[in-house]
Amino acid sequence: GGLLYVVATPIGNLDDLSERALQVLSKVDLVAAEDTRHTGRLLQHLGLSKQMIALHDHNERGRVAKILEVLGEGRQVALVSDAGTPLISDPGYIVVREVRAAGFPVSPIPGPCALVAALSVAGLPTDRFLFAGFLPAKGSGRRSALTELSAETATLVFYESPHRITDLMADLVTVFGAERECVLGRELTKTFETFYAGSAEAVLAQLQGDPHGARGEFVVMVHGAAPLPAGEGASLDTDKLLGLLIKELP
């Protein structure tokens, strides 16, 4: 019967495509891709030729009908994005939601994901982490998003593009303080895979000092804030405080 596979593809090194991903891409009747030209090159590399439809953020709803039609004929569909795991800062959420709602099974073919790969080698706590995807592109929006996260105790993970990475690191220094521990993973699984680690200030300096520093794709990881000592912050006695303030009123 109809079945939708959500298939992870490489984030750089093509050898990271799993055996199962290859099997599934070989057998499905339709590939729903973020960018058909990009996925076309991957399929060609794998020696496959498939019917494809383009699926990006702007037309996702419209494409659901086509995918449901194919599934309704008892055929199988693979959903892929340009790199890594679909739906992780990539399109596919609406399709998956609608396909599930229509009663068809959705099955993951797990594989590369930049945030998981980066966290696995950063040496930052991974018991609790908060993936915040891409922050707002504009400086003021980005700084207010960071301010909201500045007391978060879980490890923070962001995605960033090469032209904004230096600005993001500068904002991290401003909002989280120069000493906050950061790890940057750049060009994971690719030839120029690099990691920058240290205080926010030191990482910014390393990035600025490296002639290739701001090239490529980045995962930015930040150590969580130190928890507030017991008796402060969350456990603040608001009743007592209000009582004291009221006494001060004329």
Interface contacts to ligand SAM, rule CB under 6 A: 11-12, 81, 83-85, 88-90, 113-115, 159-161, 185-190, 217-219
What minimum distance in Å lies between the beta carbon of 213 and ligand SAM? Answer: 14
CB of 67 to ligand SAM, least distance (A): 19
Residue (143 or 190) nearer to ligand SAM, CB: 190
Residue 184 · residue 168 · CB < 8 Å: no
Are 11 and 114 in contact, with CB atoms under 8 Å apart?
yes
Cβ proximity to ligand SAM: between 63 and 186 the closer is 186
* CA dist., res. 134 & res. 161, Å (int): 9
Tell me whether residue 1 or residue 192 sits nearer to ligand SAM (CB atom). Answer: 192
CB 196, min distance to ligand SAM, A: 12
Query: Nearest approach, Cβ of 144 to ligand SAM (angstroms)?
Result: 21
Q: How far is it between the farthest Cα atoms of the chain? A: 81
Task: Provide the minimum distance between the beta carbon of 7 and ligand SAM in the complex, in angstroms, as a whole number.
Answer: 12
**Minimum distance, C-beta of residue 207 to ligand SAM, in the bound complex (Å):** 14
Cβ-based neighbour number of residue 54 at 10 Å: 14
Question: Least distance to ligand SAM from the beta carbon of 134, Å?
Answer: 7
How far is 191 from 175, CA to CA, in rounded Å? 33
Of 20 and 190, nearer to ligand SAM (C-beta) is 190
CA dist list (Å): 218 to 28, 94, 128, 224, 249: 32, 26, 21, 19, 52
Residue nearest ligand SAM, CB atom distance: 84
Q: Which of 217, 175, 245 is nearest to 12 (CA)?
A: 217
Answer yes or no: are the C-beta atoms of 172 and 165 closer than 8 Å: no
Is 11 or 33 the residue whose CB approaches ligand SAM more closely? 11
Cα–Cα dist 136/160, whole Å: 10
Nearer to ligand SAM, 98 or 217 (CB): 217
Spatial distance between the Cα atoms of 125 and 69, rounded to a whole number of angstroms: 45
Measured from the CB atom, the residue of 147 and 161 that comes closer to ligand SAM is 161
**Angstrom distance (rounded) from CA 78 to CA 106:** 10
Rounded distance, CA 137 to CA 110, Å?
30
